[in-house]
Amino acid sequence: MRVAIATESFLPTVNGVTTSVCRVVEQLGELGHEVLVVCPRPAPHRHAGHRVVTVPSVSVRSFPTGLPTHEVRAVLDRFAPDVLHVASPFVLGARALRDAAHLGLPSVAVYQTDMPAYLAQHAGPAGLRAANTAWRWVRRVHGLAGRTLAPSSATLAELRAHGVPRTALWRRGVDATSFHPDRRTSAEVAALRRRLAPGGEVLVGYVGRLAPEKELGRLVEVAGQPGVRLVVVGDGPARRQAEHVLGTAAAAGSRPMPVFLGHRSGTDLADAYAALDVFVHPGTRETFGQTLQEAAASGLPVVAPARGGPLDLVGHDTTGLLFDPDAPGSLGRAVGRLVLDATARSRMGEAGRALVGDRSWASLTRELVGHYEDVRAGGVAAA
């Protein structure tokens, strides 16, 4: 099968959309499919042996945003794919879906970014109006797709509630080989733990982009706890503010200062997970939460909000703890419980590993190919 993937984000930008697209491209190649990626520039010319075509872009909040030029249709026309896969369509993806409709190409759209919630949070007094406008655009864009795939049951329900047609559930895979509890026994991880916790502190960590929508300010409830050192892995526009706010909270309680390790990938990222004792995610607007899966695969108990994607990924009191994001102190109490109970940490970490251990990208990509085949055959998902 010839698969064109139009994505709003690709390398060298690293985020959840990029990661999932890269894994899908790699696995489609392993299954014998031919793939073409269309993305904003700059980007590498090839990935996993497949061609990457770039379109002009402008920078929006440090993200390269692809422009919806006529070049998209020309690329699709030349490649003549059997199916178009659009990752997190909003601008470039919207153009690709429109062109696919004109060319008679079957299409699958993957919903990954909760843009309405983002606008509601950051558009000030006009937030609600901006969110409603965004939902109208989401309905219009995804209405062009033969099928829209949601990453979690909460997101699927939200899409359906807002009138997005032809929806189905498609979760994400995880590299359970790289992210593995056995990494804890390596000399590199042992050395990292000694550096991060010289006083034997319990290491509570966040991994992800440092941006306003991640609600990092909630981590003040962790930074000020006794016996804890907060570890933050990632980078982004909110890093300086996070360093100030979380450092102030730690200093006020005479606690160890939070450690910001910056962006990590590959083995370095897997080692960072393995060095932690507890994983915490403060954001309430996740359509899925890939880092939660990576943490679980690493054998960590996960603390996350009882809202959105984490509801599918965290079994409360089984693989971690869900906190009430509307109740001040709920996050801190959940983390504090695990800090004091090493047995619970071990039990939940083992359960989390068992839950995600078989969620390989290979199996999820085979499932995705089934969706491709359905739309090619004219199949319709649930309304």
Q: Tens digit of pLDDT for each residue in 251-275?
A: 999 999 999 999 999 999 999 999 9
| pLDDT reported for residue 379 | 67
Q: Tens digit of pLDDT for each residue in 5-36?
A: 999 999 999 888 999 999 999 999 999 999 99
| pLDDT reported for residue 46 | 98
| pLDDT reported for residue 275 | 98
The pLDDT > 90 percentage for the chain reads 91
Q: Tens digit of pLDDT for each residue in 101-125?
A: 999 999 999 999 898 987 887 677 8
Taking phi over 0 as left and psi of -120 to 50 as alpha, with beta for the rest, 330 belongs to: alpha
| pLDDT reported for residue 321 | 98
What is the pLDDT confidence band of residue 127, given thresholds at 50, 70 and 90?
A: confident
The segment(s) of the chain belonging to CATH 3.40.50.2000 are: 2-173+360-376, 181-356
Q: Tens digit of pLDDT for each residue in 321-355?
A: 999 999 999 999 999 999 999 999 999 999 999 99
62 pLDDT more than 80: no
What is the pLDDT confidence band of residue 289, given thresholds at 50, 70 and 90?
A: very high
383 pLDDT more than 50: no
Q: What angle do CA 159, 165, 170 make, to 5 degrees?
A: 60
Per-position b or e across 48-61, b if 16+ CB within 10 A of its CB:
bebebbbbebeeee
| pLDDT reported for residue 362 | 96
Domain at 2-173+360-376: CATH code: 3.40.50.2000
Integer Cα distance of 355 and 298 in angstroms = 12
> 111 and 155 in contact (C-beta within 8 Å)?
yes
Pairing of strands 46-47, 50-55: antiparallel
- Written as six digits, the tokens of 296 are 């679980």
User: Tokens 């590959």 map to which residue?
Assistant: 266
Contacts of 132 (CB under 8 A, 6+ apart): 116
| pLDDT reported for residue 243 | 98
Pairing of strands 167-169, 147-150: parallel
Superfamily designation of domain 181-356: Glycogen Phosphorylase B; (3.40.50.2000)
What is the pLDDT confidence band of residue 87, given thresholds at 50, 70 and 90?
A: very high
Q: Please give the full DSSP string across 205-256, using - where no structure is assigned.
A: EEES--SGGG-GGGGHHHHTSTTEEEEEE---TTHHHHHHHHHHHHHHTTPP
What's the whole-model pTM score? 0.92
